[in-house]
Chain A
């Protein structure tokens, strides 16, 4: 298929309004959408089967339908552009190279739920992306696509960018809303869900960047086109972020009929330097590992789920046979320990424990019972926290033990890391990649 989300992104003016209108039929979908009632829009998005691209894969139309439209409070769209899941960099590219698509998606979403304001919550480190996005918003205001009486339909809508300040947890939808309210990015107890009690206690829909970027395409090309692209219930174009030990890391647009093996070997060029693939994280650091013999599955929400993992944010991290899996788990637990927001005790303390036990094993000071202790501590986190972070943090420890228990035991037995990756500090060879 020709890429529709990231087509033309390598051209120097791809972020401009002129390029968007000329080459991408820009702002044609908003005209179609504004001619429909909010109920019709929600119905169209439901029929398209669009599922949230942020990680959970929840049907977007349903999310919008749940927004309390009987409430007399204002309603809000909060766009989650806090892309922080390790291995994920698709929203980065979309916003940097195709920002008007996101703006158009925000406008249609606002019309669908009756909101007059959309806030795009962007992570603080993306300042160069934010500059592009804010320029695009200015252009759209000047051209009358945002603001008062849009396209003469009487629809008013503002789009603002809100900059975060370095917190992975702000990607959790209720933590994002807290941060948008000027507080610590810590999750709320759910229910109530944002659809009834969101930003400032008002009904709110929180949608990922790529999700909102799919919306204009549904109105531009039609529901039938959209659903036919992928397997049943997994329609539409999908962005895959392939990183780690592959020849051509990057963002690839494909349908969800594509297999993980095709994405790693055909799209990203496979594992370089004559090395062998050892393990793949298919959906960001929070999901279980798949082994090289499990890659012949559709990289769809349901396909990867059947294989025993999750599509998540479609961040495919490939690791070759020079990778120590104890070290990989340790690296990710360093991340989760640092990023735990500290609200729930099992996660705040548990990530610290997991990190320290893994470090002890990785440095060769572990005992066999430490492996059981890791499983025990991980089990004390999962399902016992306000948000999904706790389960996510326990996963790297549990999944590496499940598939590579022998490697953990070898660390204990030999009193050192038996792998010795050439690309790590302190090992003699120079970076292989």
Chain B
């Protein structure tokens, strides 16, 4: 739909189609461990406001499955005691919930101004070249996904790349390919981690 001959109306907003959870055809239920962890977290909120635990519950789904499959939504709703629509509302809004399967390593390059001023565009280009994928895609083997993200809040260590939940800071464009090589060889151990390790 468009209200102006030259502009797409809301075409880009939140890519709502792409944030629709994918059906992996598998039934979903929390493992005993994750279910117990969820109850521990839910106890932090007043019992009549259990809905506050939706965000943590979805993180547990993601830990269990690697993304939020469609069948997890009614299960989370049942465990929390809310409607499936309320859960899906949350899933489709927040960018850290993956709605489709991702690679074993998700590389997220910060693209916002302070990182961009220090070469983030080149980091992305180098990583895309090394992995042979476009931004937003996963390689054929399902090992690497490459994403761009908005400001990560570590602009003094620009450019910053997140590898799954770990951070890799001060990544110069010319070192980007070496990071991929080290990830291939050493796995998670290749990631430099938090501020402490890169600080001079």
Contact = CB atoms under 8 A, between A and B. Distances in A.
Interface in A130-171: 158, 160, 162-168
A182 B162 contact: no
Interface in B83-130: 86, 89-90, 93-97, 111-114, 116-119, 121-122, 124-125
B122 A424 contact: yes
B49 A165 contact: no
Interface stretch (A52-60, A120-128, A211-219, A412-420): A120-128
B96 A166 contact: yes
Interface stretch (A228-236, A299-307, A331-339): A331-339
Interface stretch (B11-19, B22-30, B137-145, B179-187): B11-19
A200 B199 CA distance: 41
A425 to B, nearest CB: 4
Nearest to B155: A243
Contact of A356 (B7, B111, B114, B116): B7
A166 B44 contact: no
B122 A127 contact: no
A352 interface: yes
A126 B153 contact: yes
Interface in A310-326: 315, 317, 319, 323
B113 A431 contact: no
A336 to B, nearest CB: 9
Contacts of B172: 431
Nearest to B114: A243
Contacts of B95: 165-167
B193 A128 contact: yes
B112 A331 contact: yes
Given A423-B122, A424-B121, A431-B174, A181 B52 contact: yes
Interface residues of B, number: 62
Most buried by B among A180, A182, A241, A319: A182
B118 A352 contact: no
A261 B119 CA distance: 24
Contacts of B167: 128
B194 A96 contact: yes
A183 B117 contact: no
Contact of B111 (A200, A334, A433): A334
B97 A250 contact: no
A87 B119 contact: no
B195 interface: yes
Contacts of A251: 156
Nearest to A328: B113
Nearest to B199: A10
B166 interface: yes
Nearest to A431: B119
A158 B10 CA distance: 43
A87 B195 contact: no
Given A12-B196, A180-B52, A433-B118, A125 B153 contact: yes
Given A125-B162, A165-B55, A85 B151 contact: yes
Contact of A242 (B14, B156, B157, B173): B156
A227 interface: no
A179 interface: yes
Contacts of A124: 94, 96
B85 to A, nearest CB: 12
Contacts of B195: 93, 96
B39 interface: no
A337 B112 CA distance: 12
B155 A86 contact: yes
A337 B152 CA distance: 16
B33 interface: no
A184 B155 contact: no
Contacts of B13: 337, 340, 342, 348, 352
B56 interface: yes
A83 B155 CA distance: 12
Nearest to B194: A128
A355 B53 CA distance: 35
A127 B162 CA distance: 11
B173 A87 contact: no
B47 to A, nearest CB: 12
A127 B196 CA distance: 15
A88 B153 contact: yes
Contacts of A339: 150
Contacts of A164: 55, 94
A92 B154 contact: yes
B58 interface: yes
Contacts of B193: 128
B113 A285 contact: yes
A92 B169 CA distance: 14
Nearest to B108: A125
A-B residue pairs, 8 tightest by C-beta: A165-B94, A166-B96, A243-B155, A425-B121, A166-B95, A182-B51, A182-B54, A243-B114
Interface of B: 7, 9-14, 44, 46, 49, 51-56, 58-59, 80, 82, 86, 89-90, 93-97, 111-114, 116-119, 121-122, 124-125, 149-158, 162, 165-167, 172-174, 193-196, 199
11 contacts: A10-B199, A86-B150, A86-B151, A87-B155, A89-B156, A92-B154, A93-B195, A168-B150, A185-B93, A249-B157, A353-B7
Given A84-B151, A92-B153, A315-B155, 9 more contacts: A87-B113, A126-B153, A128-B166, A128-B194, A184-B93, A243-B156, A352-B10, A425-B124, A431-B118
